[in-house]
Amino acid sequence: MRPRRTATWPREYARNRARVLAVSNVCVLCGHGGAKTADHIVSWKHWPKDSDGRLLPGFNSMGNLQPAHGTMGSGPDREHNRCPVCSKLCNQSKGAGSARNALGRRGKGRLDHFPEAAGRPASRDWGLS
């Protein structure tokens, strides 16, 4: 079950997404430029929740966002921001797992989704190590 969102959820995400992308638009998952979305480092599935199932503060904070290619918005009018180099929707390929798993840094990684990211330096120190 997906947790309920607060009224400020979309505004906080949009504001911090713009700030993250102002620092760098290089996708942390594939290493290519042109990212227009912000991936949550810790997904809603793994973020701590209160007794009513609501996400605890900080989910959309700058510290939990990183640039990524992916789908923007929801519903039939959503926009797709595919990587211009590898044509992936990196954030959706990562799913609800962590960036560490997507990059194959821990246990059962998904490096097969992003072979070109292996050995590339991060666009910024996102505190994943």
What is the per-residue pLDDT across 7-21, written as a single tens digit (0 to 9) for each? 556 899 999 999 999
User: Each residue of 26-75: pLDDT tens digit?
Assistant: 999 999 999 999 999 998 889 999 999 999 999 999 999 999 998 876 66
Would the pTM count as exceeding 0.75? Answer: no
Q: DSSP assignment of 22-61, as one string?
A: HH----TTT--S---EEEESS-TTTS-B-TTSPBPTTTTS
pLDDT in tens, 73-120: 666 777 788 899 988 888 887 766 555 554 444 333 333 444 444 455
φ and ψ of 15, to 5 deg: -65, -45
Contact 45, 96 (CB under 8 A): yes
- Interatomic CA distance for residues 28 and 34, integer angstroms: 11
pLDDT at position 115, please? 46
Cα radius of gyration (the chain): 14
Contact 113, 88 (CB under 8 A): yes
Average pLDDT, the chain: 75
Structural domain boundaries of the chain? 9-117
